[in-house]
Amino acid sequence: MKVKVPKVIKIGGIRVRIFYEDKLLDNHSKYGQCRFPEGEIVIQERDMSNDTKSQTLCHEITHWLDKVYNNYQFDENTTDAIGQGLYALLVDMGIEFDWSNISEVDK
């Protein structure tokens, strides 16, 4: 089942915008980034498969869940593990992310 990635999700009542930023990898050596003050999840688009973007999104959502519900206690390894577990669960449930709603913020 394809699920469209929304431009805005709510985590604990906080609106979090999801968009591409194509220089993310060049500028930060990252595929994804959480910006807590701005309420953003930014994903690298260029040279990224849908699977890699979806795994990255699960990772960044895990950071947000940790921040909002868990007092930001996870280290990066824990975030990676839980994010991978979340992604594997979604795949096992037959859920596939459709990225067609997402664009660069200024497009």
What is the C-alpha to C-alpha distance for residues 38 and 3, in angstroms, rounded to an integer?
A: 25
Question: Between 55 and 79, whose beta carbon lies closer to Zn ion?
Answer: 79
- In the bound state with Zn ion, the residue whose beta carbon lies nearer, of 54 and 79, is 79
Q: In this structure, are strands 96-98 and 2-4 parallel, antiparallel, or unpaired? A: parallel
Which of these ranges, 2-10, 35-43, 75-83, 91-99, lies near Zn ion under the rule CB under 5 A? 75-83
Neighbours of 14 (CB within 10 A): 12
Distance in Å, CB of 65 to Zn ion, minimum: 12
Q: Which is nearer to Zn ion, 39 or 101 (CB)?
A: 39
What b/e string do you get for 15-52 counting C-beta neighbours within 10 Å, with b at 16 or more?
ebbbbbbeebbeeeeebbbbeeeeebbbbbbeebeeee
When the beta carbons of 81 and 91 are compared against Zn ion, the nearer one is 81
- Which range, of 7-15, 47-55, 74-82, 84-92, touches Zn ion by CB under 5 A? 74-82
Unique residue bearing structure tokens 């909002």: 68
What part of residues 23-42 is at the interface with Zn ion (CB under 5 A)? Answer: none
Interface contacts to Zn ion, rule CB under 5 A:
79
